[in-house]
Amino acid sequence: MPTPPAPALLYPDVMAHGSLAAALRDAAHGRLDAVPLSSSDIAPLMRATVDSVLPHRRSLHVSAGPWERRWSICGSEPLQDLALVDGSTDNLAEVGEAVRAWHDGVPLEEIRRAAPFVHLTGRFEVPDRDPAQLAESEWRHLRCEAAELEYHWRETHQALIETAYAEPALRALYPFTSHWALRFATDTRPRLTIVGPMLSARGDGEYEVSRSLLANDLGRFATAQEAVAQAVRHLPSGLGPVTLGG
Look at residue 181 in the predicted model and tell me its pLDDT. Answer: 94
Tens digits of pLDDT across the chain (246 residues)? 788 888 889 999 999 999 999 999 999 999 999 999 999 899 999 999 999 999 999 999 999 999 999 999 999 999 999 999 999 999 999 999 999 999 999 999 999 999 999 999 999 999 999 999 999 999 999 999 999 998 788 899 999 999 999 999 999 999 999 989 999 999 999 889 999 999 999 888 999 999 887 777 889 999 999 999 999 999 999 998 999 987
Is 5 in contact with 68 (CB distance < 8 Å)? no
Cis peptide bond N-terminal to 190, omega within 30: yes
Question: What is the C-alpha separation between 94 and 74, in angstroms, rounded?
Answer: 14
**Distance separating alpha carbons of residues 147 and 210, to the nearest angstrom:** 24
Per the DSSP assignment, residues forming a β-bridge with 183 are: 176
Q: Give the C-alpha separation, 116 to 93, whole Å.
A: 12
Domain residue ranges in the chain: 7-120, 131-233
Rounded to 10 degrees, the C-alpha dihedral 141/143/147/150 comes to 60
pLDDT at 203: 84
- d(C-alpha 81, C-alpha 60), whole Å: 12
pLDDT, residue 1, reads 75
pLDDT at 191: 86
